[in-house]
Amino acid sequence: MYLAKNREPNKPVAFTGPATYLISTQLMRLASRRFLLFSLLLGSELLAGCGTRYADLPTFSADHQLLQLVVEMPAGSNHELRYNPTTNEFEPRRLAGLEAVVEFLPAPGNLGFVPGTSGAAVPGGPSQPLPALLLAESQPAGTILEVLPVALLTLDVNGQLQPILVAVPARPGQRILPRATTWVSLNQYYPNVRPFLNLWFRHRAPNTRIVGWKDEQAASQEVRRWMK
């Protein structure tokens, strides 16, 4: 370590040479680490604060004005998830305090809802968005997709009518039924889809029966009727 020569009395010692360089380098590294940590913490807080509010999503996409769908229960799962607008989380559906599990084959598509819609499943009951089924590969809960409606399925669950919008991805590359873009083409090219869905929904929950199917125009009208 080097000391400054000919220093005046009571004047602080000035460090020069290799010691000064070493101390400066260590201080710069420490400051850099603290800045990096601060940036990471700030970034995580900003990301958390900018999370998608699914309850505030529009029914139609801003870019292409196509119908949107939010996935709740991925295809291939037996565990029912529901979106909670209060917590903005996808939570297990509960029956008598237990997580609801479909005691049949896994979901044949991605179950979810159409954002920006609201209606009561049971007269006088709480409002909920229009239920939807996306015929596509499994998507994680919270996935938002532009879709094309191809049908409207109506169920009778414990004496209450429940409409379900049936849709396919708007992007051709995301479709598993590439020719199905309308009710007619769905039945023409994939005639076994409807009876398979009938079978699954009848066994999804007790006391469920199929009321009927309608085309994509009826599905679009149902969306309009449910829009907020």
pLDDT of 125: 63
Where would I find the H helices in the chain? 18-49, 183-189, 193-204, 216-226
pLDDT of 96: 77
Query: What are the boundaries of each domain within the chain?
Result: 2-49, 54-226
C-alpha pair distances (Å), 29 with each of 14, 32, 36, 117: 22, 5, 10, 53
pLDDT of 20: 53
Collect the ranges in the chain with pLDDT lower than 50: 1-7, 13, 15, 35-49
Multiple choice CATH, 54-226, 3.40.50.1000, 3.90.1150.10, 3.40.190.10, 3.90.80.10: 3.90.80.10
C-alpha 223/C-alpha 66 separation (Å) is 12
From the list 61, 64, 70, the residue with the least C-alpha distance to 144 is 70
Phi-psi category of 158—alpha, beta or left, where left has phi over 0 and alpha has psi -120 to 50? left
Q: Are the beta carbons of 110 and 175 closer than 8 angstroms?
A: no
Any idea what the Cα angle at residue 142 is, between residues 39 and 206, rounded to 5°? 150
pLDDT of 3: 46
Tokens for 36?
């990096």
Question: 102 φ, ψ to 5°?
Answer: -75, 115
- The partner residues of 146 in beta bridges, in order of sequence, read 68
Question: 110 φ, ψ to 5°?
Answer: -85, 115
The model's pTM: 0.77
